[in-house]
Amino acid sequence: MNGQLTIHYRFGLWPGEAAWRLKVELSRHANFAPDELWTVRDLSLSETNLSHLLTSQTTLQGTVAQLQRLVPSLEQGSVHTLFLSVSPHREGFRFTIVEATDDLGRTVSFSGHGGNGINHTIDFRPAPDAKSLNVTFALHPSRFVEFTVKPEMGPAPHPEKDTAEPTR
């Protein structure tokens, strides 16, 4: 990628407005300062159940980040859902997963990461033979840009033309 990002937004803004005022959040995904990071190691995948509470917590950027539960999903195969909280809510900060690996050092895919509220839910998809997770989190400030744009209507879409000859 050349360092440029293009976003096409297709829905929700009324084209009849004279101008739109937009506020865009810019959030890092790497190069975090040490005081923004928290690594939790050896989160057991074999001891996960609804009643097993996790006790890991730390203080990051003036908040308490606390793991609550790691629960296997019965409907989604080897998916494990982690419930955690960051309290009190810090306006303008984002909670991000930096890295997730299993006990053998393999990268573990995840979804639902990131967010700027108090409660977070993250789905991890470890390999079936994984025994534990190692997860690095970051709580870091975002940057915000506000600007005003004038909407312009693009050309009307052209219906697809059927170029095939009719069959006889």
List 26's β-bridge partners, or say none.
143
Q: How far is CA 131 from CA 14, 18, 47, 72, 154, in A?
A: 51, 57, 9, 13, 53
The one-letter amino acid at 17: E
List pLDDT tens digits, range 105-134. Answer: 999 999 985 566 788 889 999 999 999 999
Say which CATH number the domain at 138 has: 2.60.210
Residue 81 lies in a domain: yes
Residue 159 lies in a domain: no
Task: State the residue range of the domain holding 45.
Answer: 28-142
Residue 5 lies in a domain: no
Residue 101 lies in a domain: yes
Q: What pLDDT is stored for residue 35 in this prediction?
A: 93
Residue 3 lies in a domain: no
Residue 120 lies in a domain: yes
Q: What pLDDT is stored for residue 1 in this prediction?
A: 45
Residue 36 lies in a domain: yes
DSSP run (H or E) holding 130: none
d(CA 163, CA 160): 9
What is the band of 99 on the pLDDT scale with cuts at 50, 70, 90? Answer: very high
Residue 67 lies in a domain: yes
**pLDDT of 141 strictly over 80:** yes
- Total number of domains constituting the chain: 1
* pTM score, whole prediction: 0.72
Match 């509220």 to its residue by tokens.
Answer: 117
